[in-house]
Chain A
Amino acid sequence: MNPYVLAILLSSLGLGTTLTFASSHWLLAWMGLEINTLAIAPLMAQHHHPRAVEATTKYFLTQATAAAMILFASTTNAWMTGEWSISNLSNPLASTMFVAALALKIGLAPVHFWMPEVLQGLDLLTGLILSTWQKLAPFALIIQTAHNVDPLLLTLLGVTSTLVGGWGGLNQTQLRKILAYSSIAHMGWMIIVIQYSPQLTLLALGMYIIMTSATFLTLKMSLTTKINTLATTWSKNPVLASTTALVLLSLGGLPPLTGFMPKWMILQELTKQNLPIIATTMALAALISLYFYLRLCYAMTLTVSPNTTNSTTPWRTQTTQTSLPLALFITATLGLLPMTPAILMLTT
């Protein structure tokens, strides 16, 4: 893409999120969300093949619907209460519509259906931006509005998302769809605890961004998008294959890796709030997601598919891709669990 246009689009992505972070008026928050949607559309369609354009169209339509719902909810709130500010929503209709619109924006179940199809049509780097950066602005708004909403709605969104994220990812062979369902499941974990401790939501979001960046960048480094090709990447980069197994287990939430941290804290908080059944359901639903992470480990690292001899010992020339971000994210994904107290202090 033309570097000037790319620079303008990326800086507008930054502007949109910053605008939503800095806003206390719903119209300004809506502006930031729309700037993000606009700016990522050409990035998604940059290869101009029909699948990418289809993904762009689906993404644009769903995000525009969610933004229109946000406008509707904010004008309803202004009409009923005269308040345009984001915090202290007193009208239950408006606050429920806000949470529903923001759930559509980030892809929570039951409004998650666009997520796998959109992610499947994108290249890995744009998919990474979609899964990480585009979640930040809606979460800033959700954290400010969640305490005004009926607790049942948030709990239903969270539990459904985790279950759908688990079951939906089970029959997938395309890695981007698997990562989409993983995203849905992790969003569910973030939403379930938001009414009790928004700091843990931020912690879960931060850890999810680190882990999913590591996964996307690994797939980009291996140039693989499906399990078939994932099975033969071990010989091209053996170190990456071994660490990716641990990254995937971290996504699944196993100790002693980083991914255990948000799940542990969230389960602890749910237990403290006297919700043992919800905590058990969430833990069991995480097991479903763990199955397909384990399947990826199995395909990539734990087994070697039958192959000819010269594809098991290829020339390992130096890669032309930048490997520093990948190294940083993998290190963070594997080693941050002992720093849990420090990180908790950061999010408080």
Chain B
Amino acid sequence: MTYFMSLLLMALVVGLVAVASNPTPYFAALGLVVAAGVGCGVLVGHGGSFLSLVLFLIYLGGMLVVFAYSAALAAEPFPEAWGSRSVLGYVLVYLLGVALMAGLFWGGWYEGSWVVVDGLKEFSVLRGDVSGVAVMYSFGGGMLVICAWVLLLTLLVVLELTRGLSRGTLRAV
């Protein structure tokens, strides 16, 4: 299990390196898909299966899909891929940074252990993540109202920023 978790975390770091060194937003979205997917796997390994499912559905299946569609609208016809020299340079620099950090925090096999969020290993229906959601909807109701207001505010902010078609500087049409 530990090895599986380490594999998922390494895939997460590689995915984030891909996001940071992307030649176009399209490839960055691909890196984000990989990173978010394995992030969900890490979350499952810690016992947060409900949260992982919600993250997969809403982040990957909702927000990232919309982002990929909008990136496709603004895509250039002949983008640089990851084979080109400049992009490879960025990838190597980021991987070097990762290796430096790994060297800084290197520990023995006894230093890390993967345990789940709650005390019981397998025998629980209500884990930390599910009961957390329940608490958020009961005690945290006020915060949810504020979150809903912020979502509406974000919509109005985006509409106001892109107002005016091509008379403003943000839009080409």
Binding site for B on A (CB under 8 A): 1-2, 5, 8-9, 12, 15, 19, 28, 31, 34-35, 38-39, 41-42, 45-46, 48-50, 53, 56
Q: Are A19 and B146 in contact (CB under 8 A)?
A: yes
Chain B residues with Cβ under 8 A from A56's Cβ?
Answer: 161
A1-B160, A42-B160, A48-B164 known; A53+B169 contact, CB < 8 A: yes
Q: Which of A1, A31, A48 contacts B167 (CB 8 A)?
A: A48
Chain A residues with Cβ under 8 A from B53's Cβ?
Answer: none
Q: B42 to chain A: closest CB distance in Å? A: 14
Chain B residues with Cβ under 8 A from A12's Cβ?
Answer: 149-150, 153
Closest to B154 in A: A38
Q: Are A48 and B169 in contact (CB under 8 A)?
A: yes
Q: Are B156 and A8 in contact (CB under 8 A)?
A: yes
Q: Are B154 and A48 in contact (CB under 8 A)?
A: no
Q: Are B163 and A38 in contact (CB under 8 A)?
A: no
Closest to B147 in A: A31
* Further pairs besides A28-B143, A41-B157, A45-B160: 7, Cβ < 8 Å: A8-B153, A9-B153, A38-B153, A38-B154, A45-B170, A48-B164, A49-B169
Closest to A38 in B: B157
Q: Are B169 and A50 in contact (CB under 8 A)?
A: yes
Complex CA–CA separation, A48 to B149 (angstroms): 25
Chain A residues with Cβ under 8 A from B167's Cβ?
Answer: 48
Q: Does B141 contact A (CB under 8 A)?
A: no
Q: Are A35 and B150 in contact (CB under 8 A)?
A: yes
Chain B residues with Cβ under 8 A from A41's Cβ?
Answer: 157, 161
Q: Which of B146, B154, B160, B170 contacts A5 (CB 8 A)?
A: B160
Binding site for A on B (CB under 8 A): 143, 146-147, 149-150, 153-154, 156-157, 160-161, 163-164, 167-170
Closest to B143 in A: A28
Q: Which 3 A-B pairs give the minimum distances between C-beta atoms?
A: A48-B168, A42-B160, A50-B169
Q: Are A45 and B156 in contact (CB under 8 A)?
A: no
A5-B156, A8-B156, A48-B167 known; A38+B161 contact, CB < 8 A: no
Q: Are A53 and B149 in contact (CB under 8 A)?
A: no
Chain B residues with Cβ under 8 A from A34's Cβ?
Answer: 150
Q: B161 to chain A: closest CB distance in Å? A: 5
Q: B140 to chain A: closest CB distance in Å? A: 10
Closest to B160 in A: A42
A-B contact pairs, 23 of them (CB 8 A): A2-B160, A5-B156, A5-B160, A8-B153, A8-B156, A9-B153, A9-B156, A9-B157, A12-B153, A15-B146, A15-B149, A31-B147, A31-B150, A34-B150, A38-B154, A41-B157, A41-B161, A42-B160, A42-B161, A45-B170, A53-B168, A53-B170, A56-B161
Chain B residues with Cβ under 8 A from A45's Cβ?
Answer: 160-161, 168, 170
A31-B150, A48-B164 known; A39+B169 contact, CB < 8 A: no
Chain A residues with Cβ under 8 A from B157's Cβ?
Answer: 9, 38-39, 41-42
Chain B residues with Cβ under 8 A from A50's Cβ?
Answer: 169
Q: Are B169 and A35 in contact (CB under 8 A)?
A: no
Chain B residues with Cβ under 8 A from A35's Cβ?
Answer: 150, 153
A8-B156, A28-B143 known; A38+B169 contact, CB < 8 A: no
Complex CA–CA separation, A226 to B150 (angstroms): 37
Q: A291 to chain B: closest CB distance in Å? A: 37
Complex CA–CA separation, A56 to B143 (angstroms): 28
Complex CA–CA separation, A38 to B158 (angstroms): 9
Q: A11 to chain B: closest CB distance in Å? A: 9
Closest to A37 in B: B157
Chain A residues with Cβ under 8 A from B161's Cβ?
Answer: 41-42, 45, 56
